[in-house]
Structure 1
């Protein structure tokens, strides 16, 4: 068993990274930063200038903003300034009302009220800078390194917070060094009451899926899959199709801007959904005990957190690769797998999904999430059959932690030029 002091560190890390969120976390983080700038200013801003890293801009362009029926950053920024409360963190817009949306639309319509620009002189991939002005008063707030990680606050030249010179991100401030073995040992041996909190991820994300299946959000992939396996029998009515429909449904609703909270992982609601729903549905369909579910969810979410430690909060790599790898571990555990099988499952996932690009947050993310979790089921089945991609194949190494580093090196370093090209394509589309 992991020593108590280290268990407490890991639990604190999980509670920081697995948190409720409403809406896509990139535009919501921009709304959070805007809310903080407005609070620092002390009044409604007359002008708001927003400077964003390329990854934030990419992930905020095509996604629905909860409670608005609108897409993109301007309405998120306006609502952040008008009704946002920074104390709500990633639920910053949960007090949104139709009246606030109308006021937000008026703010957007005012010339030069909201200006958005690319901050192209920084290396940090998660960077949000908001400067709000009213008369002669000016306030600036900066988030960097994490979706809720404020590094700078200033009003009229008086600095109340400045962590920029330290060059630390949320991840660098963490003192917990994880390996896959440590993640597995923690999840399977920690006293159950210490990790019971992870069940809230099940409650939030399953509720989101069930709400989505009642309506029609985004591309309606989850509902389509459910109707297919209930009526047309194209894919059958089984645990596999249940996993796909529930996972994609929750993603459908979130990307469409439904005012439904989900439990996020490492700053991403989609990652939280993909790390949760496949595990929950497998456990329920196979009548697993509550303790087994708790341990499987812990293994899934902590695996994702571990991989993100070296990948970073945002990258050119689609987050479903990371989260689905987590759920693959959880499913393997529920199938009766031990550490060896979990390790095989991770190797299989890395060999299959590495390189899937992130081209922003948008309704079609549900298709990518579904691809990821379908691969998770396949990789778990292979692992339980003692089948594993070998070290002579591609980027896989004998040591699974090195394979994980190969995955994250490709995502964080090797795909940087891909990231730039994706953003260039997204911002220079032609209508002919």
Structure 2
């Protein structure tokens, strides 16, 4: 699960997944492109409207889709934009100027759905990605279905579909983290280096709202001190500042999201450094934070009206923090209850610069929740959405999304579109 869910990406995963889908279709056309039509679920549109696209200085779907058509390196998947040349960017901008792109909202129950239809003078090709950012559901050329590329899974054949196939538990995750051979976790340290690098870049540069940078600077207008908590929060927010503003540096994602990867790993990375922990302790803490983030995401959904980076990433970070502090499994469970009690209502209004604000809030909540948990303090069954068993609390997040927030995504998207900023 870790090797499947913890993978690198360059740029926000929703518009980059669109670029990947367009690239798959464009490679089949093999001639000059005359039009690109995108049919997208509301969540894809919501998460692609306001985010910076690496190496372009631009935001949103048009440039991401056009680059997918020009670059045509689908084998790179979520790193498709890495190594992009100035000539390719110029070609993509030319496609936008010629108004070759059309975007429509697709009425579909799938939260993550991308259908790219690419036309040339003689051929038409279509690629559909659904459920996961690199999961190809369909490829067709001139109306004929084609064999899917190696390494992709047809949505109808996903082995993880259906509740009976999912048997992960917090107890099982903790046992795994404690007992697994350290060498099999060393790949997580590569992600730590990657995410630390973009955090350092965010602290240096003037990206986005500069949440992390301004929190870390000592000045008369900064009410934050230089204590451990604020160093951890600033380091985490800075990575999101850079990523959302279009930094070309790669990020190690978790459960399909770079911001989730940032949110669940950087608090752990920063704290491990401040506490002088060794690489094995860091790797095991990262395994815990990543797996618990994935566990939460299983219930709230791959894309959701709830902020996955804040809630799932915050819960994951909290667990990793407690692990580094020497906490027990019971204290980790206390921490999860505390964090969910604090963050359960945080909505997702798309990928954009203010994600850094949500992530900084979630990191602060994770630290606060860890402090309480290490003192064996936890909410009770009398407190709101909290159940006596932490697994029940987590599982009922799915009910909150499906029953309580069923119309939330549509409302958020309509509010965003009402501003007239377009896609």
Match of 2:231 among 235, 242, 253: 242
Which contiguous aligned blocks of 4+ residues in structure 1 show a shift greater than 4 angstroms?
162-166, 168-171, 173-176, 230-233
Distance 1:405 1:279 in 2: 25
Cα 1:30–1:337 change in 2 (3 A) is same
Match of 1:272 among 251, 261, 282: 261
Q: Does 1:216 align with 2:203?
A: no
What corresponds to 1:151 in structure 2?
Answer: 137
Q: Deviations over 1:183-242 (max 9, x none)?
A: 1111122111111111112100000111122211101111101113x7877322121111
What corresponds to 2:16 in structure 1?
Answer: 28
Q: Does 1:194 align with 2:217?
A: no
Match of 1:293 among 276, 282, 286: 282
Question: SS in structure 1 opposite 2:84?
Answer: coil
Q: Mapping of 1:155-234 within 5 angstroms?
A: 155-161=141-147, 167=156, 171-172=160-161, 175=165, 177-228=167-218, 234=223
What corresponds to 1:282 in structure 2?
Answer: 271
On the 8 A contact 2:54/2:248 being kept in 1, the answer is yes
Q: Does 1:418 align with 2:408?
A: yes
Q: Mapping of 1:330-409 within 5 angstroms?
A: 330-409=320-399
Q: Mapping of 1:31-70 within 5 angstroms?
A: 31-70=19-58
Question: SS in structure 1 opposite 2:407?
Answer: helix
On the 8 A contact 2:136/2:153 being kept in 1, the answer is no
On the 8 A contact 1:310/1:405 being kept in 2, the answer is yes
- Give how far 1:430 is off: 6.7
Distance 1:422 1:43 in 2: 39
Cα 1:378–1:44 change in 2 (3 A) is farther
Q: Does 1:257 align with 2:246?
A: yes
What corresponds to 2:103 in structure 1?
Answer: 116
- Give how far 1:102 is off: 1.6
Distance 1:414 1:161 in 2: 40
On the 8 A contact 2:131/2:155 being kept in 1, the answer is no
Distance 2:229 2:155 in 1: 47
Q: Does 1:72 align with 2:38?
A: no
Q: Deviations over 1:346-404 (max 9, x none)?
A: 01111111121100000010000000010000000000001001111111111111100
Q: Deviations over 1:111-148 (max 9, x none)?
A: 3x11011002x100000000111112010000000000
Q: Deviations over 1:27-54 (max 9, x none)?
A: 0000000000111222342110000000
Cα 1:61–1:168 change in 2 (3 A) is farther
Distance 1:202 1:156 in 2: 44
Q: Does 1:125 align with 2:145?
A: no
Q: Deviations over 1:274-298 (max 9, x none)?
A: 1111001111111112221111110
Distance 1:353 1:88 in 2: 35
- Structure 1 unaligned regions, length at least 5: 1-12
Cα 1:71–1:198 change in 2 (3 A) is same
On the 8 A contact 1:226/1:242 being kept in 2, the answer is yes
Question: SS in structure 2 opposite 1:416?
Answer: coil
CA-based RMSD: 1.9
Question: SS in structure 2 opposite 1:82?
Answer: helix
On the 8 A contact 1:239/1:281 being kept in 2, the answer is no
Q: Deviations over 1:296-315 (max 9, x none)?
A: 11000000111112222101
Give the TM-score, by structure 2 length. 0.94
